[in-house]
Amino acid sequence: MQLVSVKGSPYAARVRLAIYRKDLPVEIVFPPREGLKAPEFLALNPIGKIPVLVLDDGSTLPESNVILDYLEDVFPAPSLRPAVAELRAKARLLAQLGDVYVFAALGQLFRQVDPARRDAETVARGAAALGKSLGYVELHLGPGPFAVGEDYSLADCSLAPVLALADILARHLGLPDPFTTPKLAAYWAALQADPVTARVLAEIAEGMAKMLAK
């Protein structure tokens, strides 16, 4: 199998986290040099987005959460799904909070990365929205060290790239540290200290640095 991925994409990063965490036989490859609109890539995913998982028979699976579920079904050990139903629900909740609320705030901020087009009021609104959405994550985080407790889960695969993007954009825009609430600060520290997560955080930082430099 192959995962078509780019380093700066938080959606691709969550799948790489699962692959690295489970030590799966999945090759990480990049899109064609011509980009996501190249016919070669659109033949794999007509939606024109990454990540895409190319299966051994040549068929493909797009959409990061679908890919995560597939990999978990095919390679159930070590499991990234909590064993208890309540914790599985909390893991899905935390992943959704990141996808729906935190990403919406980050979208506002991402549109302000160019200093020539930056609007201070829009940045302030985006920062406020980010703080509010991260408050939702803080509310539902478990006792740690990871999102729903002692064991790494799919929630961590989803949240770690989102928080990485929040950290990068906050620093790029000169905003305060977004991780000051108690559980969120401890969780972010735990993610950075985890070797597998740190590997992906470094990949995201490298990809975003290239993107922000353009």
Instruction: Enter the pTM of the model.
Output: 0.95
Report the CATH number of the 2-74 domain: 3.40.30.10
Rg (CA), the chain: 17
- Look over the chain and give the mean of its residue pLDDT values, rounded to a whole number: 96
The answer for 58, left when phi > 0, alpha when psi is -120 to 50, beta otherwise, is left
For range 118-128, the mean pLDDT: 96
Residue with tokens 């920062």: 127
Would you say 89 and 51 are in contact if contact means Cβ atoms under 8 Å apart?
no
Is residue 122 over pLDDT 90? yes
Cα within 13 Å of Cα(82), Cβ side: 22
Bond preceding residue 161 cis, omega within 30 of 0 = no
What pLDDT, on the 0 to 100 scale, is given for residue 129?
A: 97
Rounded Cα distance, 108 and 185, in Å: 23
Rounded Cα distance, 51 and 59, in Å: 14
Q: Which of the pair, 32 or 189, is modelled with greater confidence?
A: 189
Alpha carbon 100 to chain centroid distance?
Answer: 12
**Residue 3, H or E segment:** strand 2-4
Domain map of the chain by residue range? 2-74, 85-213
Bond preceding residue 46 cis, omega within 30 of 0 = no
How much of the chain exceeds pLDDT 90, in percent? 93
Is residue 173 over pLDDT 80? yes
Confidence of residue 33 (pLDDT cuts 50, 70, 90): confident
Rounded Cα distance, 96 and 111, in Å: 22
Pair of tokens at residue 140: 């539902």
CATH number for 85-213: choose from 3.40.190.10, 1.20.1050.10, 1.10.10.1110, 1.10.1060.10.
Answer: 1.20.1050.10
What pLDDT, on the 0 to 100 scale, is given for residue 182?
A: 96
Is residue 213 over pLDDT 90? no
Pair of tokens at residue 125: 């609104």
Span of 39-48, 167-176, 199-208 with lowest mean pLDDT: 39-48
Helix, coil or strand: residue 61:
strand
For range 133-158, the mean pLDDT: 96
